[in-house]
Amino acid sequence: MKLTLEFGGGAEFLVGNVKKHAIDLPDTQQWTLGQLLEWIKANKLQERPELFLQGSSVRPGILVLVNDTDWELLGELSYQLKDNDDVVFISTLHGG
Amino acid sequence: CDPDLTEEETAVLTSRLSRQQQHQQQSSLLSGCEKCCQKDNCPVTRVRSAQAVCRQCFLAYCTHQFRAGFGKSQLIRAGERVLVGFSGGNGACALLRLVKQGLAESTHRKLRFTPVFVYIDFATVFNDNGDGPLSGRRAAVLEQFDAHLPVEFERHCLTAAELLPGLSEALAAMTDGTGYRELLHRSVHRCLALASRQFNCSRVLTGETASRLAELTLRSVAQGRLSADSGAFSAIAAGGVCQVRPLRQLTSAETALLSWLAADGLMPVCPRPADPDSPLLNDGQGGGSIPGVIASFLGGLQQSFPATVYNILRTGEKLQSDSVAAGSSSSDSAAAAATPCPACGLSMQQQPSGDDGGNVRSNCNALRALRLSENLARSGDSPEPSTAAAGLWAKEGGRYCYSCSVLLNGCSKRAVLEECLIDADGAD
């Protein structure tokens, strides 16, 4: 299953300062957003995972969008990912 | 599509919209925007009314929240010069976008003030002389000015080290994280106030969101002070400068979503969150700080209870109005309230000792709550307010309010810090 991950708002520094990642998850299972976060922790996060994750979810202050839709509308961690979904993580932990 | 977007931006937006529609067809959880009731308009988020709204309705919601404050307050007159503080951050980008949109000729009932955009550069304060993150941030902000501001909009980049010459030394001399962050916060606003004077501006607009203002409100209470940071739409700060917070009704998440959905290329210039050398995120010596604890606490609470920040702002406004009323109802308090603290401009009403005349309202303030908490934390059961705050006040001779006294005592180079805090040319 092909997905595009995008990081912004400073979150990109935690994944090697790369904003856009094209990834291919194995089709051996149904992937939820919760499982994707675990995959990101294991495969993409290069430093300070506590600034991105808190427990099994994202840290407060990280906005998550799937195809430009707030994950809150989609069931958050339990949302089942689909092929070619675009998942965006934007950190709001900085000032204005 | 918006006529103001370029071809590339339109292509990005069209691609996103088609992905949203595809997603809506596949999802059984979304059934069209609850605001405009168009089934073809896929909801993207929930707003304060708990309605699930589409992109267009969300953008309209943000614009309305931004414009409503100006309309209700009637604060800014036509032709007035207004300084717009731009840091390159989340709220600042939203502010720039909304101001630019509000001033556009084609906008219905356009805003009519004259903006002066200012970036305060802190690079040299932290010895970043060209290749550090702050120099990079300055370069990125100047690029954003060129790319997104119409040529007729005035824009300036000022250095904090020139506006507050002793700031670098004062920051290095702070002995705890709370004082360090407090000084950093105040120095940004001091710089904006000085810039407004330099460019003959009557007001200062800042991009502080509801989330940030709620954090500042709790921070103020935790440090024993009622503050102009209580979260009101406008506040008079030290030096008589009127600060206006037009993003007060939007959370940080909403402003971040606004930047993403606007798809106009204006994205925040962000500090590296994990960079231990990032001075703007450094807690200074001694590790943790009250601001850090408050930010973490509030962030977690807001995630579980989305009305948190608005409740804090409403309560903060009530505290501000109650303290003014308390000051006017007692002769002793009225005399104290007339004297502003020279460091922060707030009423000196909150002295830790003295006769409050039995006035119940004047007894209910942040400082007394802090003293009670301090005493309970030490003794465990005594209801009497502690004497530590009174001792500090006596040592200072009552010249400053309690929280400024704490700040000054937390710096090993007090004279330098006083020069940074006190506005010698203030309008008070």
Segment A33-58, tens digit of pLDDT? 999 999 999 999 988 888 889 899 99
Lowest mean pLDDT: which of B243-252, B329-338, B412-421? B329-338
A80 touches chain B (CB under 8 A): no
* Average of per-residue pLDDT across B279-295: 60
Cβ separation B303–A60 shorter than 8 A: yes
Residues in chain A with CB shorter than 8 Å from the CB of B300 are 60
- The span from the CA of B188 to the CA of B158, in Å, is 11
- The span from the CA of B403 to the CA of B409, in Å, is 10
Chain centroid, CA B255 distance in Å: 13
* Average of per-residue pLDDT across B40-50: 85
**Alpha carbon of A86: minimum distance to chain B alpha carbons (Å):** 9
Does A96 fall in a domain?
A: no
Q: Which residue has the higher pLDDT, B329 or B369?
A: B369
**Alpha carbon of B108: minimum distance to chain A alpha carbons (Å):** 27
Cβ separation A96–B270 shorter than 8 A: no
B267 touches chain A (CB under 8 A): yes
Lowest mean pLDDT: which of A20-24, B257-261, B318-322? B318-322
- Give the chain A residue nearest B260 (alpha carbons): A68
Nearest to B300 among A10, A60, A88 (CB): A60
Cβ separation A69–B42 shorter than 8 A: yes
C-alpha dist (Å) from residue B1 to B9, B12, B15: 10, 11, 12
Cβ separation A68–B92 shorter than 8 A: no
Residues in chain B with CB shorter than 8 Å from the CB of A60 are 299-300, 302-303
Sequence-separated (6 or more) residues with CB below 8 Å from residue B89: A94, A95, A96, B207, B268, B269, B270
B56 touches chain A (CB under 8 A): no
Asked whether the ipTM of the predicted complex exceeds the cut of 0.90, the reply is yes
Q: Which domain holds residue A85?
A: 2-91
Q: What's domain B45-272+288-319's architecture?
A: 3-Layer(aba) Sandwich (3.40)
Does A67 fall in a domain?
A: yes
Interface test with A, best of B12, B18, B27 (most A CBs within 10 A): B27
Cβ separation B26–A82 shorter than 8 A: yes
| pTM (two decimals) | 0.85
Please name the residues between 125 and 164 in chain B that touch chain A, using a CB distance below 8 Å. Answer: none
Percent of chain A beyond pLDDT 70?
Answer: 97
Domain of residue A62, CATH code: 3.10.20.30
Residues in chain B with CB shorter than 8 Å from the CB of A7 are none
What total of structural domains would you count in chain A? 1
How far apart, in Å, do the first and last CA atoms of chain B sit? 50
> pLDDT value at position B207?
92
Q: Where are the domains of chain B?
A: 45-272+288-319
Does A72 fall in a domain?
A: yes
Interface test with B, best of A65, A72, A93 (most B CBs within 10 A): A93
Is the separation of the CB atoms in B115 and B79 below 8 Å?
A: no
Does A28 fall in a domain?
A: yes
Three-state secondary-structure class, residue A90: strand
- Which residue's structure tokens are 């700031």? B167
